[in-house]
Amino acid sequence: MTPSVIELPVTEDDRRIARYTAAAIALTVAEAALPSPLPGIKPGLANIIVLVVLLRYGWRDAAWVSLLRVVAGSLVIGQLFAPGFFLALAGAVSSLAALFLAAQLPRRWFGAVTISLLAAFAHIGGQLVLARLWLVPHDGVFYLAPLFATAALIFGTINGLIAAHLIMQVETI
Amino acid sequence: MKAVLPDDLREIFSKAGYSGSWHKYLKVGDWLVLFLSCALVVLSYTLLWRGGVADRAIVKRDGQTIIEISLNSASKTRVVGPLGTTVIEVQPGRVRVFSDPGPRQYCVQQGWLTRAGAVAICAPNHITLELNGRGEASYDSLGY
């Protein structure tokens, strides 16, 4: 009996997604070291990578990077299957839905900042809904919504600007 | 670092500095979305954080108002319910249930109430304590 070799062909797409995901994971880990005034309020720097991937390679690649980032990122910082992991996942899934819709907007009028803001609001929306349904079964969680919305506004704008900057740099190289 | 980063990102990071203004990255639609987002955030504060400054405490037994206490000066008020006496303590700007004969003491553990609309319910003794403020009636409309 000859040992069978299972070969998993790696495409150029796979390599590209893996590299971007690695960059997103690095940002997740760096961000985990930052102090936060309130649990859940984070700049979400990894989303800059997701935005760049969305605008350059489309939604499918962005979804891979975003979801792989959540799973591998929480593995690295020791949060896998902790409540924070599910909150991150809920945020990622709902912001991917927003990214899908936002990517349909005419590029002529709407740039990275719009997409980033919509994703940021969807992100906190998804997290609040999950938190309300599962972690804090009380309407009190919505009391925090304005703070999260403020964070989404600020970081969504900044991340969008950074993504726009990165993309413009890439395209002029 | 070199092996990990995608080629295009590596080139960006190796480029020194940044010049120019952020303006050029914002398209017309972006400004619109940014403006609407700001409005949404302000709206979320006014909708969800509506409770204004409390100015009086209302004590009810079986839904009937028994006494209204001003929050301007410190006082202790005794209210008698089916189980015994509930003591309400007021200090300037805040109020709490100081003691209650109920078995689980939820309303006592709630501590100080400071916001208009906050409620402490001592269900076993049929007493509720709520804070009322001018908050909701203090304006006719808001403009931004």
User: Are residues A108 and B27, on separate chains, in Cβ contact within 8 Å?
Assistant: yes
Structural domains in chain A plus CATH codes: 12-172 (1.10.1760.20)
pLDDT of residue B6 exceeding 80: no
B117: Cβ contacts below 8 Å, ≥ 6 apart? B50, B51, B130, B131, B132, B133, B135
Label residue B14 by pLDDT band (50, 70, 90).
low
Which carries the bigger pLDDT value, residue A153 or residue A35? A153
Task: Determine the pLDDT at residue A50.
Answer: 96
pLDDT of residue B3 exceeding 70: no
Nearest to A113 among B12, B15, B34 (CB): B34
Q: Judge whether B113 and B131 are in contact, CB under 8 Å.
A: yes
Give B 112-141 residues with CB within 8 A of chain A: none
pLDDT tens, position by position, B80-94: 999 999 999 998 888
Cβ of B144 under 8 Å from any chain A Cβ? no
Beta strands in chain B (DSSP E): 54-61, 64-70, 75-80, 85-91, 94-99, 119-122, 127-133
Q: How far is A24 from chain B (nearest CA, A)?
A: 10
pLDDT of residue A88 exceeding 70: yes
Long-range contacts of A136-144 (CB under 8 A, 24+ apart): A142/B48, A143/B48, A143/B49, A144/A38
> For residues A123 and A120, what is the distance between their CA atoms, to the nearest angstrom?
5
Nearest to B29 among A114, A166, A168 (CB): A114
Q: Judge whether A62 and A53 are in contact, CB under 8 Å.
A: yes
User: How far does Cα B29 stand from its chain's mean position?
Assistant: 33
Residue among A151, A140, A163, A158 at smallest CA distance from A36: A151
Side chain identity at residue B12, one-letter code: I
Task: Determine the pLDDT at residue A173.
Answer: 63
Cβ of A31 under 8 Å from any chain B Cβ? no
Cβ of B12 under 8 Å from any chain A Cβ? yes
pLDDT of residue A122 exceeding 90: yes
Label residue B139 by pLDDT band (50, 70, 90).
very low
- DSSP string for residues in B77-118: EEEE-SSSEEEEEEETTEEEEEE---SS-HHHHT--B-BTT-
> For residues A143 and A131, what is the distance between their CA atoms, to the nearest angstrom?
12
Structural domains in chain B plus CATH codes: 7-48 (no CATH), 54-133 (2.60.320.10)
Q: How far is A88 from chain B (nearest CA, A)?
A: 22
Cβ of A158 under 8 Å from any chain B Cβ? no
Cβ of B18 under 8 Å from any chain A Cβ? yes
Q: Judge whether A54 and A164 are in contact, CB under 8 Å.
A: no
Token representation of residue A154: 């600020």
Give percent of chain B with pLDDT exceeding 90: 31
User: Are residues A110 and B11, on separate chains, in Cβ contact within 8 Å?
Assistant: no
Ranges A61-65, A103-107, B45-49, most confident: A61-65
How many CB pairs below 8 Å do chains A and B form together? 87
Label residue B1 by pLDDT band (50, 70, 90).
very low
Cβ of A140 under 8 Å from any chain B Cβ? no
pLDDT of residue A124 exceeding 90: yes
Label residue B22 by pLDDT band (50, 70, 90).
confident
Main-chain dihedrals φ then ψ at residue B70, nearest 5 degrees: -70, 145
Which carries the bigger pLDDT value, residue A151 or residue B22? A151
Nearest to B49 among A22, A105, A146 (CB): A146
Give percent of chain A with pLDDT exceeding 70: 97
